[in-house]
Every structure is written in structure tokens, then in C-alpha cells.
Chain A
Amino acid sequence: MRETFRLSMAYMHTWLGLVLGLVLMVVFFFGTLSVFDREIDRWSVPETRAAAAAMPSFDKIIRPYVEQVQPRQESMDYAQAYEVIGQLPPADRIPLGDMSAVTSHRDPLIKVYGTFDVPNAPRDASVDHVHVFGDLTVHPETGERLTSIEQQLHLGTEFFYPMHYMLHLEWYDVGYWIVGLAGLAMLAALVSGVVMHRKIFREFFTFRPDKPRLRATLDLHNLTGVVALPFLFMLTFTGLFIMAYFYLPAVEDLARQTIDRQDAIEHAESGLPEEPAGRPGGLASVDAMAADAKARWAAKGTPGEIGYIAVTHWGDANAYVSIGRDSVDRVATGETLHYRAATGELLYEDPPAAPITATEGFLHGLHYQQFKHWGLRWLLFAGGLLSCACIATGFLFFVEKRRRKHAAAGVPGARIVDTLAVAAVPGMLIATVAMMLANRVLPADLAGYDLWQERVFWLTWLATLAHGAVRSGAVGAGGTSRAWGEQCWALALLGAAAAVANWATTGDHLGRTIATGYWPVAGVDLVLLAGAAAAAWAGYRLGMHGTLHRPRGAVAPQAEPVHV
């Protein structure tokens, strides 16, 4: 019975991993990059390479821009296509409802966001209002609006990060669903992986690269999986947890009335108006409210900077201002103070979080990682890389186990999976680095500059898949695909080229960025170069032992590890 259970777990582990491993590789790799998404933004949009700055004066610098925020065209198009009945009014006629200004200890920019109240009736009867959204970017010190970069693609937050949770497949939100399915499969793979592992403690630290390749691959898969298990489990779980309301909207839909009633009660208790009054109202000095908020945080023993300022019901008599702390020193996001906009008197202070809210906040914060802790940030980056290694070696083990058998039987299975693994591992890295190189070498005034970067990414990735397929002949004969070594060399060249291109186009070479301590850009360059060096080493080793499976000193063939 025990062995049957173990075998059925192994069976599930193998096939779930095979079917969704490619997606998991993408999700974990781009999740790992997203740990440093703001830093990649600095690298890819050189105009924004400045030191992070505190929230500037709202009254002097931010307020004049609030009226300039307009709904973005994409947001208008989406609302028109899916959400409202009838024709939307022109963008400049839709009134601003709420606004917020946001910054953080990693941002040298102030983002000013607007939420606009659409007058049209919603198509979905259970929705009260439809909104459209817009934003603009302000330089925190000079106070000038950075129009030129507002529409420019920020590689970190706008390409790599969305890739992590929706794969850029917007059609019917299919990307979100695929990622959710892969996350669920990952949880199942983690549990079944622990069940099927025979010597989880005895071989906790074991990696034997000199053993036959099948054994060595499994060692590495087990090692990375076991040491990164807390990371793998918590990040997969919190990722699903964050998206739970998207995947299971029934809770919100069915409980709509209860939720609305709860909202009304909470607003009544806190004294924060839920709806606008419909009469115009003034806005007192927000700087004074900000100073008051800082004084209150300091008095409580948690002094800090301002992370965001939000005004709800902008310009209305019921307007109120919320001031939130940049929660640099804790995992969950922090406490917020609310002021009456017209008078600046304190209306309400968020109470200390109840246990359930605190747990939810911790689980969200653990995944969003907005804290200021560079050591932890690098540890999470390392955890992400270990996870990628675990997924990649899972693929390799599948191929390794079947390579000879499929070659003998003339079945293309191992060859197909090997091709996919080539595209998923070196191929994906090549596409990412090629996109970064394109970001630097394409002229920024090129028509469709952003689109071309995205095209470079997708086309390069497709090319690595084709290359993997063409060069996989050896796998069909029971050997190793040439694509692995060749793509490692391509990656090494591209990685070095991207770092050099950054130097050539901006003058920010490592000597300068390290000397001036500008770590966002220095860090990206260093990771590019380290990646290039690792890829070159891998390419060299693959070339040297084109058939790595002949281990030094190994004599009798080992019994194969028993897995499906």
C-alpha cells in the first residue's frame, strides 16, 4: 500500500511537472527578476536614474498636477469594450473621483494616479460604478512632469513583472488562469515530491556530480527542491492566496450584499464618508496633515517617511485625505491616518490590525516585498534562482531517464521535451537579455520603440525554440542536444553585450556606478556579467564533455533511481 501510494505520487509529480513545468519556469524566473523590478526600471529608462527621494511637498509640487491627470486610452478602451452601456464621454469630461500620490524608498519618481467616475451605467448589474484610470509621473526634486517617460515601457515593472503573473496573455485573462493552474500544480508537485523522496534527511546535503548523469541530475533536483522548500511553498501559496479572489470570485459575488453592508458599517464607524456629497469642498494644507502624521508616527515610536497620500472624493465636500507610511521596516503594509480635506482635522486612525488582517497582511507583504531590507531582497533572489534550478533539473531528469529508451524505440518524446527545456532555460534567458540589449541599442525615438523591444523578446524566444528543435538530433540518437552549449555561448555574449551597451549609451559603466554607489544600475550590470560568466563556463564545460555522462572513475553501471 505504501509503495503504491508513493508510486502514484511519483506518477502525478512527473506528469504535472512535465505539462506545467514550462509555465512554472517562466513564473519563477520572472518572479525572481521582479524582486528587483524597480532597479531594472532604472536600468531600462536611463532618464529615471536618480537617487530615491522622499515624498515632496504636496501643496507646492503635487497638487498643481492633479488636474492634469487624464484617463489613459487603454483604460478608456477597456471600459468601452467590456464594462459600460452606451458611448463614453470624452476623456477630459470624465470627473476625477479619487487621486493618490505614491513613492517608496526604491523610487526616484512620484506617481500621481487618478480614478475617474464614469457616468455611464455598468453592464454588470452587481457593480455600482465603473471607473477609468490615469496617471502621470513627477520628478520629486525639480517638480517637473516627466512626460517623455510616462508612455515608455519600464522593463521591470511593466514587462517582466506582469510576465510573472499573467504571461502577457490578455485575451479573456487566459494568462492569469494558466499561472493559477500552474501554481496549484506546483503545490501538488511539492507535496508529492516530499512523499516520493526516499531519503529526504539522509541525502539533505547530497550532490554527486561525478555519479552517472541520471543520478547527478536527480541529486540536484532533490537538493534544490529540499533546501528551497520553505521558499517554494510559501511563495507559491501566497501567490495563489493573493489571486484567490480572481480565481474564486463566487465568494465576493454571492456575498455582495453582506460585503456592501459591512462597508457601510465600517464607514459609519470610522466617520469616513463612503459617497461624495455632491457639493464642492475645499482642500486645506496637505503638508500640514503630512507633518501631523509624521509627528504621530514618531510619538508612537515608529518614525517614518510618507509612502502615499490619497484624496478620496476629490473636490467634494465629503473629501478626505489618507496618509500612509512607507512601511520599510515590516513585512505587512503599515498604518494609515485619515484627515478631513476641508479642515485638516484628524478623522480616523486605522486601528492595529486584528489577527486575521495581520496574517493576511503578512502573507501579502511576504510576496509583494515592499520592505527596505537589501539582504533579504538578495536572499529572496537567491531562493528564486534555486527554485528555477529545481524546475529545470526536473525537466532534465525527465529527458535523461527516457533518452536512450526513446532513441531505441524511435519515439520522439525525449527529443520534444529536451527542445522545450532548451527553450525554457537558456532560451528564456537569451530572450530576456536580448530584450535588455534591444532596450539599449534601439534609438529611443524610434516609432514603436516599446513594441520593438517586445518583438525582440518574443521573436528571440521563438528562435531559441527553433534552434533547440533543429539541434536536438543527438537526443533522438540517445545523446545530448548541441543546442544547450550553443545557447550558453549566445547567452554569455548577449549578457556581456547588454552591460557594454549600457555603458556606451549612457556612460554609466561599472566603475562610475560603483564609485558613486548607484547600486540599482551597478547591480543589474553585475548580475548581467555574472550571468554571462556562468553561461560561458557552462558552455565551455558542455563543449569539453560533449557527452557528460561518462563520469571519471565510474565503473559498474548504477541501479537507476526508481521514479516513474
Chain B
Amino acid sequence: MSDGILLAFAQVLAIGGMGCLALSLAAHWKQVFGDRAQTRGAARGLRTAGALLLAASFGLCATANPVSMAALVWPMMLTLAAAIVAAALTARAQRARRG
């Protein structure tokens, strides 16, 4: 597979991972799932899934590029992913309020 596609997947995994981590937080869970209560197991599961997805994202970065390069690409991908997740949550909350 070409390096570009691997890196695109890595970015997608990073967004997924950050999304899971966001949903493991009570406030964002409520934004997305409304009144459905967040069980402790769900929170833990989301945290684990988030961490695994982020780790997998690093794996793809390190496959596509030398590790020294991945050490730079991956944190920047996490930054972008976190910003995207935050923007998506904000947009969702705004839509819900206007809804």
C-alpha cells in the first residue's frame, strides 16, 4: 500500500481514537447520547479503545515513514484529530440546541 494511503488511515484512526476518548468523558457522552446513562464499563471500554486506536495510528505512521519521522508526524496527527473531534462535538451541540 502506498505511504499516502497508510498515513490517511493513520489520521482516520487518530480521529477515531480521539473520538472514543472524548466519549469516555461524561459531558461529551451526554452531548452525544443524551440521557442514556454512561456506565463505568462503557467509560473504561471507550478509554481503552481510544488508546488502542491511537497506538494503531502510530503503528501505521511508523510503517509508512522511518520512526524518527513518525515521531513527528504522529503527534501532529493527534493535534489535528483532537481539533476535529472538538469541532464536531461543538457543531453537534449547536445543532441540537437549535434543533
Q: Nearest chain A CB to B35's CB is how many angstroms away?
A: 19
Q: Nearest chain A CB to B75's CB is how many angstroms away?
A: 5
A300 within 8 A of B: no
Binds A, one of B38-46, B52-60, B82-90: B82-90
Binds B, one of A76-84, A87-95, A206-214, A468-476: A206-214
Indicate whether A204 sits within 8 Å of B97 (C-beta atoms), given known contacts A330-B66, A379-B76: no
Q: Nearest chain A CB to B83's CB is how many angstroms away?
A: 5
Q: Is the CB of A375 within 8 A of B75?
A: no
Summarize A's interface: helix, strand, loop or mixed.
loop
Interface string of A323-347 (1 = CB under 8 A from B): 0000001111000000000000000
B77 within 8 A of A: yes
Contact of B82 among A202, A208, A227, A375 (CB under 8 A): A227
Indicate whether A204 sits within 8 Å of B25 (C-beta atoms), given known contacts A376-B73, A386-B83: yes
Q: Nearest chain A CB to B80's CB is how many angstroms away?
A: 6
Tell me which residues across on chain A come within 8 A of B85, comparing CB atoms.
205
A48–B4 CA distance with the chains assembled, in angstroms: 28
Q: Is the CB of B86 within 8 A of A210?
A: no
A382 within 8 A of B: yes
Q: Nearest chain B CB to A50's CB is how many angstroms away?
A: 25
Q: Is the CB of A373 within 8 A of B93?
A: no
The number of chain A residues with a CB under 8 A from chain B is 34
In A296-314, which residues have CB < 8 Å from any B CB? none
The number of chain B residues with a CB under 8 A from chain A is 32
Q: Is the CB of B73 within 8 A of A209?
A: no
B7, B27, B79, B80 interface centre (most CB from chain A within 10 Å): B79
Q: Is the CB of B97 within 8 A of A379?
A: no
Q: Is the CB of B69 within 8 A of A223?
A: no
Q: Is the CB of A375 within 8 A of B73?
A: yes
Nearest B-chain residue to A374, judged by Cβ: B4
A206–B90 CA distance with the chains assembled, in angstroms: 8
Q: Is the CB of A230 within 8 A of B25?
A: no
Tell me which residues across on chain B come within 8 A of A231, comparing CB atoms.
75-76, 79
A553 within 8 A of B: yes
Q: Is the CB of B25 within 8 A of A207?
A: no
A2 within 8 A of B: no
A519 within 8 A of B: no
Interface string of A355-382 (1 = CB under 8 A from B): 0000000100010000101011001101
Q: Nearest chain B CB to A48's CB is how many angstroms away?
A: 27
Nearest B-chain residue to A230, judged by Cβ: B75
Q: Is the CB of A330 within 8 A of B69?
A: yes
Summarize B's interface: helix, strand, loop or mixed.
helix
A228 within 8 A of B: yes
Q: Nearest chain B CB to A209's CB is how many angstroms away?
A: 7
Contact of B4 among A207, A224, A230, A375 (CB under 8 A): A375
Interface string of A370-406 (1 = CB under 8 A from B): 0101011001101100100000000000000000000
Q: Is the CB of B27 within 8 A of A380?
A: no
Tell me which residues across on chain B come within 8 A of A373, comparing CB atoms.
65, 69, 73
Q: Nearest chain A CB to B37's CB is how many angstroms away?
A: 18
Tell me which residues across on chain A come within 8 A of B83, comparing CB atoms.
223-224, 227, 382, 386
Tell me which residues across on chain B come within 8 A of A382, comparing CB atoms.
76, 79-80, 83
Q: Is the CB of B72 within 8 A of A202?
A: no
Q: Is the CB of A206 within 8 A of B86?
A: yes
Tell me which residues across on chain B come within 8 A of A383, comparing CB atoms.
76, 79-80
A306–B85 CA distance with the chains assembled, in angstroms: 42
Tell me which residues across on chain A come within 8 A of B93, comparing CB atoms.
208, 210
Tell me which residues across on chain B come within 8 A of A230, comparing CB atoms.
75, 78-79
Q: Is the CB of A330 within 8 A of B68?
A: yes
A279 within 8 A of B: no
Q: Is the CB of A379 within 8 A of B77?
A: yes
Tell me which residues across on chain A come within 8 A of B89, comparing CB atoms.
205-207
A362–B66 CA distance with the chains assembled, in angstroms: 13
Indicate whether A223 sits within 8 Å of B86 (C-beta atoms), given known contacts A231-B75, A379-B76, A380-B76: yes
Q: Nearest chain B CB to A17's CB is how many angstroms away?
A: 21
A545 within 8 A of B: no
A256–B73 CA distance with the chains assembled, in angstroms: 39
Indicate whether A227 sits within 8 Å of B79 (C-beta atoms), given known contacts A204-B25, A553-B97: yes
A205–B69 CA distance with the chains assembled, in angstroms: 27
Contact of B7 among A209, A227, A362, A375 (CB under 8 A): A375
Tell me which residues across on chain A come within 8 A of B94, comparing CB atoms.
209-210
Beyond A207-B86, A231-B76, 18 extra complex contacts between A and B, CB < 8 Å: A202-B25, A202-B27, A204-B21, A204-B82, A205-B22, A205-B85, A206-B27, A209-B94, A227-B79, A227-B82, A230-B75, A230-B78, A230-B79, A329-B66, A362-B68, A373-B65, A379-B77, A553-B97
Binding site for B on A (CB under 8 A): 201-210, 223-224, 226-228, 230-231, 329-332, 362, 366, 371, 373, 375-376, 379-380, 382-383, 386, 552-553
Please provide the 7 A-B residue pairs with the shortest distance between their CB atoms, ordered closest to farther: A379-B76, A227-B82, A205-B86, A205-B22, A230-B75, A207-B90, A376-B73
